[in-house]
A and B are shown apart, each in its own frame.
Chain A
Amino acid sequence: MDDKTPMMDELEKGPWPSYVKELKKAAKKSDAAKDLIKVQERSFEEKMTMWKHGGIVGVAGYGGGVIGRYISRPEEFPNVQAFHTLRINHPSGWFYKTDRLRELLDVWEKHGSGLCNFHGSTGDIIFLGTTSEHLQPIHDEITAIGWDLGGSGSDLRTPTGCVGPARCEYACIDTLDFIYNITMEFQNELHRPPFPYKTKIKASGCPNDCVAAIARADFSIIGTWHDNLRIDQDGVKEYLDSGFDVQGLVVNKCPTNALEMVNGKLELAWPEDCVRCMHCINMMSKAIRPGVDKGATILVGAKAPVIHGACLSSVIIPFMKMEPPYTEFKELWLKAMDWWDENGRTRERISELIDRVGMRMFLRAIDVEPVPQMVYRPRANPYVFFDKGV
């Protein structure tokens, strides 16, 4: 068989770091990685994937964290006949101490292809490519050094949060602590798929939403504040003195026209109009900061297209204080999961269930009163239910 891989070689060129170089580094030590380069070349030639539909593999006691993968042409690519993936739950904020990380890498090099993703879409470290007999030893060895598998399948997927108060002045909630806390609290839901389908929790410290919680998490926790943003006039003067166009780039771009320049001072002239969008803070971080009464807006329902189209999360709790042990959040989440588990069809995400039976049924199930912050505008149609009477 021809071992030349001209298309792979082409992707070693160019200024952006090349994954093909990474594959070739791994191939020096792993026959599976060597075959993977050939698999990729063949896919490029035939414009098709070479991988078969999954397979049930796993580790003892868990129902997730491992994704089975087999090649469709084992005779051509014998070293990747089985090429399973493991998801390793990352530490909050993706901070690493090198000695701990090196220990983890050593386990993977011993038992797998030596290829990984830092990180996968869920936020986990992805170990890419090993055989079935190595799965349990990997799990045994990583738990012995203080690591554990992440989620997959119809479970709580690995919760993820932004860098938060660790290195961001915008953070209105402690995303790292919150994510670590709920990850530890809901280990059972994370490791043993109990639900109709996958469900996700992601937390961003402010409305800039650097982990895209509003677009991809069934429960989106987004930091915000209930009082007024803080403006430091000395800081404003510094921006003005540097020639920065405060009027044009900040005041004029406020989406609700809540800001005004008055005699060289930047004022939140209409505080009740501020929607805490972050634009002015992003532009003038030395002079403008979030308020001090901090918490989170809880939004529900985001997901990607399959089945009934992509959804963004929508407001359910406009403001919730987020202090350990996060009891109010946990109770809300458990109520929502109970309702979804009870009423959801197989492979129906919670937003699809809400759309099918109506938001009012969801609000009743989680004991939340309707408020106007939940909608852009009320309904226009006359198709109204009065199933609780008038």
Chain B
Amino acid sequence: MATTDIGPPDYKEMLPEVIAKNYGKWKYHEDIKPGVLKHVSETGDEAFTVRCGSPRLVSVDLIRDLCDIADKYCDGHFRFTSRYNPEFITPNKDNIEPIIAAIEKIGLPVGGTGRGISNMIHTQGWIHCHGAATDASGVVKAIMDEMYDYFVGKKTLPQKLRISLACCLNMCGAIHATDLAVVGVHTRVPTIDHEHMTVLCELPTTQASCPTGAIRKHPDPNIKSVTVNDDKCMYCGNCFTVCPAMPIAHAEGDGIAIYVGGKVSNARKAPMFSRLVIPYIPNNPPRWPEVTSVLKNIVEVYASNAHPFERVGEWIERVGWERFFKLTGIPFVEQNIDDFELARDTLRTTTQFKW
């Protein structure tokens, strides 16, 4: 049997020399130009970072191409950011332009720093997930093609703007607290395969999985299965997660919802959840044009209305959600009003509002 529990490699083996030497001694940093950072140490040392985008779903060949660049210019070291961006770090300023040229040669865009749009956090989608209500990589590719100028710094925004995508309500990856969140949604109740229910599923777990208590034991004691109260089902798909005999995916019912205004940083305002602004857009592969145009509109309205350094959520909280819907032209519909467990917290209990 193989060795077990050896854990990951020690990070100390992986650090470039300039990082190891100045570990914990960094004094300040500057954005030199889009995609390039300069960090200055108490020791007087400087480290230059070149950041680029990647599609996240990559071949070993692309990672080897990145290794080649690191071998040539960065003494065999590189890293990734929390948003899938490869970074090349060098103490040698003269390496910046050759690194940029090498990155562009393998087809990756340099950028993702400062007041723009960095890479999208996203999930697996139809590439690999059984519960996906939409694709991930394909939608992300379509959105990032549209947002490209904000990544490479050709266009800037009042503050950084983060876009994320989750292909179902599980929202893997802090999708619920991001400036623009793209979320795969089902809109039809699950079907029940009574015949295979006891083979595939544990009934109490299946019942307990429902957030609204819509799933009950089948009233006929001879049928070892469950029933769904359609009126209580809000299509979260959690029953399918625990019980394969309750498929919920539906070609015409599945689609995308857009949530807006979340953030995780504590800067200025406390972290915020993203809020539902568009409950449903049908899946329209390969480029999801309705989704990209909606996002482009929100980004542009934010760009021309927010104060400098306001995140999307801070801007909306300042002007009011009623102004947000007016400025973006997005229709306000019944799904925008919460009716889950903490709904009352979102109702307006004051006469103060804007027309």
Contact = CB atoms under 8 A, between A and B. Distances in A.
Interface of A: 7-8, 10-11, 14-23, 25-26, 33, 36, 39-40, 43-54, 59-62, 69, 83, 85, 89-102, 105, 108-109, 114-119, 121, 123, 128-129, 136, 139-140, 143-144, 146-148, 160, 162-163, 165-169, 171, 174, 176-177, 180, 183-184, 187-188, 191, 207-216, 222, 249, 253, 255, 276-279, 282-283, 285-286, 289, 304-310, 312, 345-347
B273 to A, nearest CB: 6
A83 B76 contact: no
B137 interface: yes
Nearest to A45: B285
A11 B287 CA distance: 8
A105 B60 contact: yes
Contacts of B61: 25-26, 114
Contacts of A114: 59-61
Given A49-B126, A54-B130, A136-B2, A118 B77 contact: no
Contacts of A176: 11
A215 B177 contact: yes
11 contacts: A17-B55, A48-B251, A49-B129, A91-B14, A92-B11, A97-B14, A100-B14, A121-B172, A146-B9, A171-B26, A183-B8
A26 B59 contact: yes
Nearest to B287: A10
Given A26-B60, A97-B77, A285-B28, 4 more contacts: A25-B59, A69-B130, A97-B13, A215-B271
A36 B4 CA distance: 32
A95 B128 contact: no
Interface stretch (B214-222, B224-232, B262-270, B320-328): B262-270
A5 B39 CA distance: 46
A198 to B, nearest CB: 11
A97 B14 CA distance: 5
Nearest to A187: B5
B138 A44 contact: yes
| Residue of A114, A167, A308 most packed against chain B (CB within 10 A) | A167
A194 B13 CA distance: 31
B182 interface: no
Interface residues of B, number: 115
A43 B135 contact: yes
A171 B266 CA distance: 14
B56 A306 contact: no
B170 interface: yes
B43 interface: no
B123 interface: yes
A109 B308 CA distance: 47
Interface of B: 1-11, 13-16, 19, 23-24, 26-30, 39, 47, 49, 53-64, 67, 70-71, 76-82, 84, 86, 89, 107-109, 121, 123, 125-132, 135, 137-138, 141-142, 144-145, 148, 151, 169-177, 205, 208-209, 211, 236, 238, 240-242, 244, 249-252, 254, 262, 264-269, 271, 273, 283, 285-287, 308-309, 340-342
A197 to B, nearest CB: 11
B141 A279 contact: no
A322 B148 CA distance: 40
List 7 tightest A-B contacts by C-beta distance, closest first. Answer: A14-B145, A207-B266, A92-B11, A44-B285, A53-B244, A43-B126, A165-B24
Contact of B266 (A36, A51, A115, A278): A278
B12 to A, nearest CB: 8
Contact of A105 (B4, B6, B63, B109): B63
Contacts of B144: 16
Contacts of A188: 5
A118 B266 contact: no
Nearest to B10: A180
A346 B206 CA distance: 11
Given A136-B2, A306-B169, A22 B67 contact: no
A167 B47 contact: yes
Contacts of B283: 47
| Residue of A14, A48, A49 most packed against chain B (CB within 10 A) | A49
B82 A211 contact: yes
Given A96-B78, A98-B71, A306-B236, A19 B141 contact: yes
Contacts of A306: 169-170, 211, 236, 238, 241
Contacts of B208: 345-347
B40 to A, nearest CB: 9
A294 B287 CA distance: 47
A48 B249 contact: yes
Nearest to B141: A11
B5 A347 contact: no
Given A19-B55, A162-B82, A306-B238, A139 B26 contact: no
A167 B55 contact: no
A6 to B, nearest CB: 8
